[in-house]
Chain A
């Protein structure tokens, strides 16, 4: 692992670009659904505060979505530039799934985002709400296809292989609904919801710390705390099921993330330690006897596989998987506790006036996104040394691009992404720093925060001179 070669840098480059990208769709998925709920509540109750919060987050959604478009553009070319052999061999199976992702996302974006962003009060409430629902549905549909591709790489199914090692589709249903997909999809979607809940909660808390009477901030905070207390525990259960599915299909990954090198009956749960790949043991392990067996096999004396059962060249790099997994689970626990603390304060009638709860929520603003990145690291590094699990090695997937080329492009990506997305983050934070107000305005129609969408005709009349 000390050796830095072209494969390693190509992996790093993919990890870097997708790591930046993954945060933005997660944000869009969660926020689109939140906006849908807010608009539904507004339509039902007619209360101004729902509309205010809706407009507040709509502006933020517009910027996040635009950044997602440009980082997504890069992703659609990365498979070819750095992973040409993979693209050639797995393309017949996963290419069409990604094609559907592009087509459907494009379709829904083109059709309805413009109406959602600029059409309120111009197309009628019902139609506007429909547009919001379709955009939310579109983000979920994107997630569906992308996670299907991702899951297929983890648990390939429904294919045949040619003589020269290419994958051919045999059964599309089996390809799309491959074994890990039904677990991965809800886990990721819930993760998006939870991430956004903590951002919304943090923004609400931030403004409550300054003005406890701000009704919109109260609403954000209250909704976020309900999400935390309900969804965080659900996520833990879904994650547990996902883990059992991984144990069934990718036991080596589970061994790596548990830091287990030997199969022992009544496997302990290693809380902390440092998996030592050379010596094939986990150093400085702090463990709880039998708990590992209990969680993963649901029996006291069950045994979890150890890495030594697998050929050494098939081992994922355990220290990264082990720690990424602990960061994800740790944050999950923290988010659950936060939700419970919030529930307790609510029961006391002090939800909005508990400084430590508010400060805690502000501090945890990025918790969901960090957990998403850690979870994604766990599953992708845990898939190594394969791109298509068990079938196609990462080292055999790479484009014939030598080290200097990959190094230079990686450096270029790093510089550009830090400038561009750093600036984007500043603009987002600036919007979030403004307190929500009564009669909150939507995205200013004359500022070209535009996407492919169709903006309803009357908006055009405010556009400089259009339509005249």
Chain B
């Protein structure tokens, strides 16, 4: 039996991107929530709840980008130019947001603090929105001829991609709110719970609209979702989604603390699976498949040797770090 290297790598990259979404999603959401949390004390709690882990979360994005370059160079070489504006805006937003973690504690003036708080908030929002735009644009398809992107500047811009952008922003804010239900207490937790309910409804509505819209973008998506035998694989997705939605709202009503976060993460996993079902076996819709995008076996095998050792190790470390930082983050720590 021969090993299908491109499939293994596609799975690994998919895991890296999913890890990124699940891990960085809520901490971008925390940044977005700065727009409605104005008190210094609350903001400190928000930042401190994610400070120990954010940078590890973001490294999955480097792994996604670097990994794509390493093992699917054609995908990397066509997606990046196609989404030039959204990728660069996302990177710059992440730079702002990343340093704001440090800098907001290092400034000595109120104005400085306000400025870096804004950088944190706006940076997080823009990064999330750009990720959604890129996703929407990718589903719309990338115009590639002769191994090069041949589309225009704003091919990624469409009502669908803007909707995806909004969905990601709202969805990440939901994750951020659920994180706060888990990690905070008192008035802050109450506010987070109220917001999570509203954001849950909004996110669910957006997921439904995006899911219904997606099959109409490309005929293959339509065939996959509603044709036989694809429907055997696809029909459980909406059913599971309904179950998770029911679980989420019940957990909110019962004032459970960890469950809402896990349910909301479950929504994202399902959406991600749905996305995978739509575009499989393509790497860059509508024309480049996983195998066409793949680097030669020698390249993929060379990196795989390291990846099979290091990726599980990294996952284990990450799990351990979260374990160490478990528990409520309390207000009242004033640093400066």
Listed in ascending order, the chain A residues whose CB lies under 8 Å from chain B are 63, 66-67, 69-74, 76-77, 79-81, 84-85, 87-88, 91-93, 95-96, 98-104, 106-107, 109-111, 114, 164, 168-170, 172, 399-402, 405, 409, 412-413, 416-417, 420, 423-424, 427, 430, 444, 446-455, 457, 460, 463-468
Contact = CB atoms under 8 A, between A and B. Distances in A.
A107 B313 contact: yes
Interface in B296-333: 296, 298-300, 302-303, 306-307, 310-311, 313-314, 317-318, 320-321, 324-333
Interface string B183-195: 0000000000000
Contacts of A446: 333, 335
Given A99-B70, A424-B103, A450-B54, 9 more contacts: A67-B99, A80-B69, A84-B81, A99-B69, A103-B63, A399-B80, A409-B84, A427-B106, A446-B333
A420 B96 contact: yes
B289 to A, nearest CB: 16
B298 A168 contact: yes
A96 B48 contact: no
B162 interface: no
A465 B66 CA distance: 37
A200 to B, nearest CB: 21
A101 B103 CA distance: 27
Nearest to A99: B70
A400 B82 CA distance: 9
B98 A70 contact: yes
Contact of A447 (B61, B92, B335): B335
Contact of B99 (A66, A92, A98): A66
Contacts of B330: 464-465
Interface string B86-97: 011101101110
Contacts of A91: 69-70, 73-74, 76-77, 295, 299
B150 interface: yes
B6 interface: no
Given A76-B69, A446-B333, A447-B105, A84 B78 contact: yes
B291 interface: no
9 contacts: A77-B88, A87-B76, A91-B74, A103-B63, A106-B314, A169-B296, A444-B335, A449-B102, A452-B59
A399 B149 contact: yes
Interface in B203-247: none
A63 B68 CA distance: 29
A47 B268 CA distance: 54
Contacts of A420: 95-96, 99
Given A92-B295, A99-B71, A73 B103 contact: no
Nearest to B295: A92
Interface string B24-53: 000000000000000000000101100111
B293 to A, nearest CB: 10
A101 B70 CA distance: 11
Nearest to B320: A454
B66 A98 contact: yes
A400 B142 CA distance: 14
- Sorting the interface of chain B by its residue count into under 10, 10 to 19, 20 to 34 or 35 or more gives 35 or more
A102 B77 contact: no
B91 A73 contact: yes
Interface in B273-292: none
B93 to A, nearest CB: 9
In the complex, the 4 A-B pairs of residues with the closest C-beta atoms, listed nearest first: A91-B73, A80-B80, A448-B51, A452-B56
Contact of B325 (A85, A416, A417, A463): A463
B141 interface: no
Given A87-B73, A91-B77, A72 B329 contact: no
B257 interface: no
Contact of A168 (B98, B153, B296): B296
A73 B94 contact: yes
Contacts of B79: 80
A387 to B, nearest CB: 13
A299 B179 CA distance: 71
Residue among A87, A413, A424 facing the most chain B CB atoms (10 A cut-off):
A87
A448 B299 contact: no
Contacts of A464: 45, 48, 329-333
A398 B53 CA distance: 36
A81 B62 contact: no
A116 to B, nearest CB: 14
B132 interface: no
A174 to B, nearest CB: 13
A80 B23 CA distance: 24
A453 B318 CA distance: 9
B62 A76 contact: yes
Contact of B77 (A88, A427, A467): A88
A401 B151 CA distance: 10
A87 to B, nearest CB: 4
Contacts of A416: 92, 95-96
A169 B302 contact: yes
B324 to A, nearest CB: 6
Contacts of B311: 103
A82 B54 CA distance: 28
A446 B336 CA distance: 11
A100 B106 contact: no
B97 to A, nearest CB: 9
Nearest to A113: B55
Nearest to A13: B88
Given A73-B62, A464-B332, A87 B55 contact: no
Residue among B53, B300, B302, B327 facing the most chain A CB atoms (10 A cut-off):
B302
Residue among B88, B92, B96, B153 facing the most chain A CB atoms (10 A cut-off):
B88
Contacts of A468: 327-328
Contacts of B321: 110, 114, 452-454
B91 A77 contact: yes
Contacts of B51: 448, 450
A93 B80 contact: no
Contacts of B52: 448, 450, 455, 463
B147 interface: yes
Contacts of B84: 81, 399, 401, 405, 409
B143 to A, nearest CB: 11
Residue among B52, B59, B89, B318 facing the most chain A CB atoms (10 A cut-off):
B52
B65 A405 contact: no
Given A420-B95, A466-B325, A95 B71 contact: yes
B156 interface: no
B82 to A, nearest CB: 9
B27 to A, nearest CB: 12
